[in-house]
Chains A and B, each alone.
Chain A
Amino acid sequence: GDSVTQMEGPVTLSEEAFLTINCTYTATGYPSLFWYVQYPGEGLQLLLKATKADDKGSNKGFEATYRKETTSFHLEKGSVQVSDSAVYFCALTSNRDDKIIFGKGTRLHILP
């Protein structure tokens, strides 16, 4: 079945460091891909998305490119801030049903 695998955390970085959180997926057809962010005590928020191969989603300085050849959707940010500390979820929707499939989440800690 369809699935999402993302790097395990926690990931700890210093402020202004470069961030990469890896995400790969398994799906039939052409899924839509998402990154969600969950700040402490809150629900998940859609951070960015891409709906077809080679699309780049971007928001708040974060970017991710839909790579069909490597079945990947890695999240990147050039200079992280303390306020980026959160849990990040990679996710996909398949063409076959209505559900979003989430990865297990990666906790990110940014040190001042």
Chain B
Amino acid sequence: DAGVIQSPRHEVTEMGQEVTLRCKPISGHDYLFWYRQTMMRGLELLIYFNNNVPIDDSGMPEDRFSAKMPNASFSTLKIQPSEPRDSAVYFCASTLMTGAYGYTFGSGTRLTVV
């Protein structure tokens, strides 16, 4: 298995532009998580899905952020409009089941908003 695949690896955009981050989970995994990592705030859970349905989006910072999972093999995290404070590394992770299984993380997307 190729693992959790995220694209792009790096994204540089100007303030006010729309940004879309993509994630392909491991085939058969029923849970998908989006995290944001910064030096100041560490690792933050933004939203997670179970069987393509959003379960908890309480970590989404504001209405500029939205996430979708149209099918079991694809999810997007969109920021519109982007701001410099959104600069971070965004990780996607998936798991077959929660509890003792742990997550498999993608390599992340480093977003820079200038």
Contacts and interface: CB of A to CB of B under 8 A. Distances in A.
A99 B100 contact: no
Nearest to B42: A104
B61 interface: no
A62 interface: no
Contacts of B98: 93, 97-100
B100 A89 contact: no
Given A98-B48, A104-B42, A46 B102 contact: yes
Nearest to A44: B105
A71 interface: no
A46 B56 CA distance: 23
A32 interface: yes
Given A43-B91, A89-B43, A51 B100 contact: yes
Given A44-B91, A98-B55, A49 B100 contact: yes
Contact of A49 (B48, B102, B105): B102
B99 A93 contact: yes
A2 B107 CA distance: 27
A42 B3 CA distance: 13
A46 to B, nearest CB: 5
B108 A43 contact: yes
Interface in A16-63: 32, 34, 36, 41-46, 49, 51
Nearest to A99: B45
A64 B33 CA distance: 26
Interface string B63-106: 00000000000000000000000000001010000111011111
B31 interface: yes
A93 B43 contact: no
Interface of B: 4, 31, 33, 42-43, 45, 48, 50, 55-56, 91, 93, 98-100, 102-108
Complex A-B, nearest 6 residue pairs according to Cβ-Cβ distance, in ascending order: A43-B105, A98-B98, A32-B100, A51-B100, A46-B102, A44-B105
